[in-house]
Structure 1
Amino acid sequence: MTRILKLFIILVVFSPAAPADETNRYLFWKVEGAPGTAYLLGSIHVGTPDMYPLSKAITQAFTNADTLVVEINLLDVDPTSTNLLFTRKGLYQGKGTLESRLEPQTWQLLIAATKRYNLPLVMLRQQKPWLAALTLTTWVFQQEGYNAELGVDQHFLNQAETSHDIVELESLEQQLNIFDQFSPAEQEDFLLKTLQEISQGGEYLQALKSAWKGGDTAAINELINATLQTNSDIYQRLITERNKTMTARIIELLNQEKISFVVVGAGHLVGEHSIVQELAEKGYKVERL
C-alpha cells in the first residue's frame, strides 16, 4: 500500500536500542469488566522514531493481551478497492470542481496553503472539500517528517499480525461515509478548520506529540477536539457518535473472558463523551495507568 494512501486511511527507523522513557505517562487506561479486561491506549496515527520504544507498562499489557483492537485493521485493507472507494465518495463527478464549490476567500486560503507546502494544486481540483482537507493534512504530515508506518496503530498491528487476534471497531467505508454525508457548508467548514490547524505547521505537530507522550489530556482535548467543537454537528458525528459506537463494541469484548488491548485515536479518550467517560458512567472500573 502506498504511503499516501495509508496516511489517508488514518485520518502519518524504529530504534530498538533506545531505552523506554518511563517518565512518559501516555494516554493509557485499564478497564475491568466481567469477565474481561481491556487496556485503552490513545494513539496518534503518524509518528517519528523518537516516539519509541513505549513504556514497559504498555508493552507488557500488549504482550499479555489476547486481542488487538483498532479503529481500522490497516493490514486487511486492499489498495485497489480503497482507491475506488476514495474516488467514488471523495471526487466530484463530471464537471464539478473544488474551486466552484468554495467561497472565494476559502479558495484563496487553500491556494496559499498549497504554495506554502509545495502541494500541486491540481491534486485537489476534483476533490470534495473534506477529501481536500485530508489530502492537505497528509501532505503536511509528510513534509514535517511524520510517517504513517511509525503511527501507534501501525506499530502494534505489525507486532500483532502473527501473535494476536485483530478486531476492528469500524470499517474504512463507515469512516468515509461520515465525511461524505456532511453538507456542502459543513465540508467547507471542515476544510477551514484544517487550514487553521496546519497554519501552525510543525509547531502544532510537535505540541501534539509532546502532549501525547506526557499523557496531557487537557492539551490533547484542546489540540484535537477544540477546533471541531466550534461546529457542534461536525463534532457530534466525528467524535461523540463514534465514541458511543466504539464504546458499545468494547463492552462486547469486556463480556468475553479475554484481555483486549485497544488502540484508538487520542481524541476519542479525552474530554466530554469520551470512551473513557462512557465506560466509567456505565459502571466499569476505569483506572489511569
Structure 2
Amino acid sequence: MMTSGFERAFRGIFLFRLSAIFIFFFLFFTPKLATAKPIVWQAQKGGAVFTLFGSIHLGSPNFYPLPELVEDKFDKADALIVEVDLASSKVPAFPDRRNSYQSLNVKEKRLLETVAAKARVDLSLLYAMQPWQTAVTLQMEQAKSLGLRPDFGVDRHFLQKSSSTGKRIIGLESLEQQFSTLTTMEDNGKAMLLETIEDWDQKRLDLACMISAWRQGDHKTLTAMSNYFAEYSSLEDRVLYQRNLKWISLLQDKNKFPDGNYLLVVGDLHFHGKRGLLALLEKEGFSIKRLTSGGSVNCFSSAGRMNQSANTSSQRYQGEVDLASVLAQKY
C-alpha cells in the first residue's frame, strides 16, 4: 500500500476533484474577460426537465458571478445532479503497483525530468508514485501555477449552495468508480502519464483556449476541441465517452429521476462533440434547447494541432508505448 504521506496527498486531490483525467481538460482562466457567460442548456423528455451546465472543476474568482439564469434554475430545481457527491463519499484505498521509475524507459524518464523541472516538482517523488499518480501530481502543479483553486470550482459552488439550502444532491457515480477509472488503467496509467508530459507547453495553450471558450460560451470551439480529443487522445474514450453512456442510461431511469426539474452540473467537455451528452441525449429522444447566447474566441485550429501532431509523431511514445498502437487499441 502507499505510504501515509501519499494517502494524505491523494485524499486531498480527490476530495477537491483534482483528478488528472478531468484536470487535463480544465485548467486555465483568462482574466481579460468580463463576467463569465458560459452556456446554459435544457434537455427535456416527457415531464423530466434537466438544466445542463458545464463545470470547471478548478476555478478562479473571475469565474463569478455565473449567469443569473443558472442560479435561478438552481433555486427552482428539485435536486442538483453532479458527477460525485463528495460529502457522502469516502476515498478508497488503491493497490500498490509498479511505480513510475520502474515503468518508464530511459527516453521517457528524460522527458519526465524535463517536465518535473518546469513544474517544480521533486523528481524523486514523481518516480516513487504509480504512473497515474505522477500524472495527477503534475496536472495539479500546472493548475496551481495558473492560479486555479478547487474552492472556486463551479461544481463546488453549487454543492456548497445545496449544503446551505438543504437542496437534494444526486451523484451520477461514486468516488470509488472514479478511482477505478485510474487504478484499472493498463500499465498503471503509463499512457496517461505520457500524454500528460508530451507537448507540455502546447497543452497549456490548449487549456487556456478551452477556458476562454467556456467563459465566452463558444460552443463551436468547444465542439471542435472535443472532437479533436476524441480522435487523438487515448484517454477520451475511458474518461468521457464511456462515462457519458452510463450517465445517459441513469438519466432515463424514472425511479431515480421522476418527472421534475433538475440542474445537472458536470465537467463541461462532457457535453460537446459527437460523443458528448448533448448529442447522446438527443439521440435518446430528449429535446435540446440552448437557453443563453454566447460569444466567440476562435482560439483553436484542429488542423494546426493535427499538423503539429504529425510533425512530432516520430518522437512520441518511443520505447515501450507506440501512439499508433494505443489509438488502434482504443478505437
Superposition TM-score, scaled by structure 1 size: 0.83
How far has the Cα of 1:68 moved from its partner? 0.5
Structure 1 residue ranges without an equivalent (≥5) = 13-19
Q: In the TM superposition, what is the alpha-carbon distance from 1:200 to its structure 2 partner? A: 3.8
Separation (CA, whole Å) in 2 of partners of 1:36 and 1:197: 43
Per-residue deviation at 1:105? 1.9
Conserved 8 A contact 2:226-2:272: no
Q: In structure 2, what is the equivalent of residue 17 of structure 1?
A: none
Aligned to 1:58: 70
- SS of the residue corresponding to residue 39 of structure 1 reads strand
Distance in 1 of aligned mates of 2:229 and 2:199: 8
Runs (4+) off by over 6 Å: none
**Are 1:42 and 2:54 counterparts?**
yes
Please give the alpha-carbon distance, in whole angstroms, between the structure 1 residues aligned to 2:133 and 2:222.
24
For the aligned residue pairs, the C-alpha RMSD in angstroms reads 2.5
1:152 corresponds to which residue? 154
TM superposition shift of 1:250 = 1.8
* Residues 148-187 of structure 1: pairs in structure 2 closer than 5 A: 148-163=150-165, 164-184=167-187, 187=189
Give runs of aligned pairs for residues 133-152 of structure 1, distance below 5 A: 133-152=135-154
**Corresponding residue for residue 263 of structure 1:** 265
**Distance apart, 1:56 and its partner CA:** 1.0
- Tell me what 2:43 maps to: 31
Give how far 1:150 is off: 0.6
Higher RCO (CA < 8 A, seq sep 6+): 1
Q: Work out the CA distance in 1 between the residues paired with 2:103 and 2:164.
A: 46
Deviations for 1:71-123, whole angstroms, at most 9, x for unmatched residues?
A: 01122334xxx2x52xx24x43xxx4311211222221111111112111232
Which runs of no fewer than 5 residues in structure 2 stay unpaired? 1-7, 24-33, 292-331
1:131-280 alignment, distance < 5 Å: 131-163=133-165, 164-184=167-187, 187-196=189-198, 198-200=200-202, 203-223=205-225, 226-227=228-229, 229-231=231-233, 234-252=235-253, 256-280=258-282
Q: Supply the distance in 1 between the matched residues of 2:73 and 2:263 (Cα, whole angstroms).
A: 7
Tell me if structure 2 keeps the 8 A contact 1:38–1:259. yes
Task: Summarize the Cα distance change of 1:98–1:236 in structure 2 as closer, same or farther, 3 Å threshold.
Answer: same
Q: Normalising to structure 2: TM-score of the pair? A: 0.73
CA 41–198 in structure 1, closer or farther in 2 if over 3 Å, else same? farther
Secondary structure of 2:101 counterpart: helix
Comparing 215-224 and 130-139, the one that deviates more: 215-224
* 1:16 aligned residue: none
* Aligned counterparts of 1:174 and 1:237: Cα–Cα separation in 2: 12
Cα distance per residue 1:219-252 (max 9 Å; x no partner): 33455663463255x4322221110111112222
Q: Please name the residue that 2:328 is paired with.
A: none
* 2:123 aligned with 1:121: yes
Aligned residue among 56, 59, 82 for 1:70: 82
CA deviation map 1:7-55 (0-9, x unaligned): 435737xxxxxxx93xx54132111122221111111110000000011
CA pair 157-190 structure 1, distance change in 2 beyond 3 A: same
- Return the offset for 1:149: 0.8
- Confirm or deny: 8 A CA contact 1:198 1:204 kept in the other structure: no
Q: How many residues align?
A: 268
For 1:278 and 1:175, how far apart are their aligned partners in 2? 21
